[in-house]
Structure 1
């Protein structure tokens, strides 16, 4: 079994990829529902961004209806349109992306709220295995998932132009 606390404490990107590759694939049906996310620090340019922004996780209603970015807290969750997020600029910024938000910065995420689902699930081959993956509607990003246990997924965000994936954990609500 993979040590979740060890993943959350951080490791290098190569070790995270080895762990990801060692985990079994999942089907789209296995991951339906709402999931709470956390980052796996690997010195990726995005490390820290989701935590400081108030990211909660993801919600998979069915294969064609996914909220890829949920923010807030239980009882006050809202979906955000990823197209309005600064994800596309991260590759150009490298490690210069700030790990803090200015006063009122989290409020800006509320301006990007949406009720529309902005992604879908498909089973995709990635790093030698076919597994459930979340395909963003408007961005060149695919989040690939592997099973840590029945209620925990390790995700690898594969973004066009990024030299390595960004890793994160999802735990079933």
Structure 2
């Protein structure tokens, strides 16, 4: 089974496990800062992480990487159907993207300005990445469990 097929299977799975996602993660190519530039729509894996409920509540749409030091981590769908960066939602504020070591590899990593949380990225393909959120998650989400999600490049 190809990496893309494994990703699609886990994305549509009722309850993928962290072990299954970690196995996929280990087979993915690291994303670079340059790979992340652009606008992305996102979603997550059905793991019942508290971040899922919060992001659903605020109508999370994705992330905008307009430059290494110009990242909007919380892009939401507005009530009128538009899409906008929301600096106040979920303490999102702003962010930057750096190359940071995670699990022995240097990956493109989004660093939130307002909280000690990091989103690490690896590529499924040129237009799809898997992210793992880690850091000081407990104050934000009530758990230190990693949060697994995905982004797809907007055309």
TM tier, shorter chain? Answer: 0.7 to 0.9
2:116 equivalent among 140, 143, 148: 140
Does structure 1 conserve the Cα–Cα contact (< 8 Å) formed by 2:7 and 2:24? no
**1:10-159 mapped onto 2 (5 Å cutoff):** 10-72=15-77, 76-81=82-87, 85=90, 118-159=94-135
TM-score (norm 2): 0.82
User: Against the structure 1 CA distance between its residues 138 and 57, is the aligned structure 2 distance closer, same or farther, given a 3 Å change threshold?
Assistant: same
Cα displacement string for residues 94-127 of structure 1 (whole angstroms, at most 9, x for unaligned residues): xxxxxxxxxxxxxxxxxxxxxxx70000000001
Does residue 7 (structure 1) correspond to residue 13 (structure 2)? The answer is: no
Cα displacement string for residues 40-96 of structure 1 (whole angstroms, at most 9, x for unaligned residues): 1224232343234311000000100000010017x71111125x5268xxxxxxxxx
**How many residues align structurally?**
143
TM-score (norm 1): 0.74
- Point out where structure 1 has 5 or more consecutive residues left out of the alignment: 88-116
- CA–CA distance in 2 between the matches of 1:163 and 1:52? 20
User: Against the structure 1 CA distance between its residues 53 and 7, is the aligned structure 2 distance closer, same or farther, given a 3 Å change threshold?
Assistant: farther
User: Against the structure 1 CA distance between its residues 18 and 148, is the aligned structure 2 distance closer, same or farther, given a 3 Å change threshold?
Assistant: same
C-alpha displacement of 1:24: 0.9
SS at the partner of 1:11? coil
SS at the partner of 1:15? helix
Does structure 2 conserve the Cα–Cα contact (< 8 Å) formed by 1:13 and 1:164? no
- Name whichever structure is richer in strand by fraction: 2
- Point out where structure 2 has 5 or more consecutive residues left out of the alignment: none
